[in-house]
Amino acid sequence: MSRLRLSVEDLERCWLPQSAIDLIEVIGTVATLTLMQRYGGITLALPRSIGADHDLSRLIGHDAARKLVEHWGGDRVYIPKADNAVRCVRDQEMIRRYDAGDRPQELALEYKITDRHFWRVMKKPMLVPGQRPPPKDDRQLSMLDD
């Protein structure tokens, strides 16, 4: 499975704080999103070394946890909480990986979403948080309108 990395411009478009971008550069997008979903808004005291049975290793994978500790081991690291940005980054990366040939079922499982939600993400226009959606096309009649 190919692992695509989002560019810094993609990340900045999602209004991610620099601390999240730094984490992504060290441990990757999926591990960072998982870390932010679990510990967003918390300062973690990282150990100087880490084993496969450590909570962080079980959460983000031992390889990502090892990279995290190699980079910031022994320090306290603030894990940003940026829910809208997390969804934006996740959605952009899923779209890019799908376009590159990754299977929808594998992506849905990896990002812990339903396959129905995956297809909703694929269909919606990519918006930057705070940006207004495109105007509704009034030419199409709704079955629910009177």
List, for residues 111-144, the tens digit of each pLDDT value. Answer: 889 999 999 999 877 655 444 445 555 555 555 5
The helix (run of H) or strand (run of E) holding residue 65 is: helix 62-72
With bands split at pLDDT 50, 70 and 90, how would you rate the model's confidence at 4? very low
Tokens 């990754």, residue located: 102
Written as one string, the DSSP assignment of 28-54 is -HHHHHHHHHHHTTEEEE--SS--TTS
Report the chain's terminal Cα–Cα distance, integer Å. Answer: 49
Distance of CA 108 to the CA centre of its chain: 13
Beta-ladder partners of 45? 76
